[in-house]
Amino acid sequence: MIRSITLICSLLILATKLSLASVDFDTYFEHKTLRVDYLLGGNANEQTIFLQDLKKEAIWGGTTINLVDTFDYGNYRFKLIDKASGVLLYSRGFGSLFQEWQSTPEAKTLNRSYYQVNVMPFPKNKAQFIVEYRNRDGVFEKLFEYEIDPGNYFILEETAMEVKHSKLMGNGNANSSIDVAFIAEGYTQEEMEKFRADVERVAGYVLNVEPFKSYANRFNIYALESVSEESGPDIPGKQIYKNTVLHSNFYTFDSERYLTTSDLKTMHDIAANVPYDHIFVLINTEKYGGAGIYNYYTSCSSDHKLSREVASHEFGHGFVGLADEYYTSGVSVEDFYNLEVEPWEPNITTLIDFESKWKNMLDEGIVTPTPRTEIYAEKVGLFEGGGYMSKGIYSPVQDCKMKSNNKDEFCPVCQKSGEKMIRFTIGE
């Protein structure tokens, strides 16, 4: 009986691998982008999706090799399934400000919606677009489904919003490189020379840290000069409001340092001028802050003395899918993690499924849980505290870029996760 079960499991794994291998890009896709825009709304206990627009954009800058997501990251994911054959053509996990907002006290008394955009290669034939969310038990459930007919004349094929842009770093092919679109936010027309210099500096902050440093020649850095009427973002807590292209603001969810934009529509309109795997919103301010929304964007203050540390930390969130490892700083969310479920982020664990995390990176004989003492200061272990919680969640080291601004590098676990994401994105 055991042999039969083992054989069945082996056949299922083989079938899955063959299915993934059969997704030939040129068979199923044009070298253009399908963009699906929708509103994701609800409250603390429920959510729904309202379709907004379908768009066909001129450039596909993503990989043509690794089309199906293998990480199982994100609180949401979308799939594109070939209608005729049932083949899974493309999938990606992602995060959302809406899901974070659901964990705030406000969500218990109010309904809100957040604009969302999913991008994927444009299918040649009819396909089923599906959005799923990860429930409190860690299981994905279907939230929305819609048939994509590539011949539908209601799919908008408009010229991208015209924004002056340039490639500042890199010369690799877009489909086998990591293309990062830096968008100017809170920069006036007169400040665009400053913006280009800021992009080179902040991109350098990220690319000077491992694992990105070892793959720096595989990054293409674009500067998109989106013009704002006024300099700087909104600072609601100080009653400062600016007219900017992406309407960014501090005090997201009433957290002063949380610097975000909810205008994903305009952000993607701007980014459509260049090939991109990730969007980096560079915000013209000396005030400390930033954000990283997995598989959406990274944002960072341009000119704070800690922007170097913030840029790489937030890129760890936005591009790699890393979790915050701190547990003493104040945050606006409540009960963000279910301690009965293994978190999807690779650098924290509830011990429900530690085997899938960094257990194989522990030195032989290391004490677990590992005490936060000097003897283990540079060791990979199992340190209680992380994910905004002091109890029940564990992180790999005592300090890391994902915990504080005191470290110049990511820990070995975060570096390994980052390298996996890099190699997946460049098609290796």
Q: How far apart are CA 295 and CA 264, in angstroms?
A: 12
Report how far apart, in Å, the C-alpha atoms of 88 and of each of 37, 68, 84, 91 are: 21, 7, 11, 8
3-state SS, one letter per residue, for 242-294: CCCCCCCECCECCECCECECCCHHHHHHHHCCCCCCEEEEEECCCCCCEEEEC
The pLDDT value recorded for residue 330 is 55
Tell me whether strands 219-224 and 76-82 are parallel, antiparallel or unpaired.
unpaired
- For residue 401, tell me if it sits in a domain: yes
Instruction: Enter the tokens of residue 363.
Output: 């030195």
**Residue 278 sits in the same domain as residue 305:** yes
The angle that helices 307-315 and 192-207 make with each other, rounded to 10 degrees, is: 70
Task: Give the pair of three-digit tokens for residue 153.
Answer: 């004349």
Low-confidence residues of the chain, pLDDT below 70? Answer: 1-22, 329-334
pTM > 0.85: yes
Residue 352 lies in a domain: no
Task: Please report, for the domain that includes residue 59, its CATH number.
Answer: 2.60.40.3250
For residues 291 and 314, is the Cβ–Cβ distance under 8 A?
yes
Question: Do the beta carbons of residue 183 and residue 224 sit within 8 Å?
Answer: yes
Cα angle for residues 144, 299, 41 (degrees, 5° grid)? 25
For residues 244-270, one letter each, b for 16 or more C-beta atoms within 10 angstroms of the residue's C-beta and e for the rest, the string is: bbbbbbbbbbebbbbbbbbbbebbbbb
The parent domain of residue 395 ranges over: 366-424
Query: Is residue 392 assigned to a domain?
Result: yes
DSSP 31: E
Taking the C-alpha atoms of residue 119 and residue 112, their distance in angstroms, rounded to an integer, is 23
Q: Which residues contact 136 (CB under 8 A, 6 or more apart)?
A: 338, 341
Task: Give pLDDT tens digits for 338-373.
Answer: 999 999 999 999 999 999 999 999 988 899 999 999
Nearest to 295 by CA among 39, 118, 32: 118
Among 289, 321, 353, where does a domain finish?
Answer: 321
For the chain, how far is it from start to end, CA to CA, in angstroms?
38
Number of H helices, E strands in the chain: 7, 15
User: Strand pairing partners for 298?
Assistant: 280, 292
The number of folded domains in the chain is: 3
- Give the count of alpha carbons within 13 A of 311, CB side only: 28
> Do 95 and 208 sit in the same domain of this protein?
no
Name every residue whose Cβ is closer than 8 Å to that of residue 312 and which is 6 or more positions away in sequence.
205, 206, 209, 212, 401, 410
- What confidence tens digit (pLDDT) does each residue in 67-78 have? 999 999 999 999
Residues 262 and 217 in one domain: yes
Q: Is 179 part of any domain?
A: yes
Task: Report the residue count for the chain.
Answer: 428
What is the structure's pLDDT at 412?
97
Q: What is residue 329's predicted lDDT score, i.e. its pLDDT?
A: 60
In terms of domains, do 311 and 373 share one? Answer: no
* Same domain, yes or no: 185 and 87: no
Q: How far is CA 98 from CA 35, 41, 76, 102, in A?
A: 19, 7, 11, 6
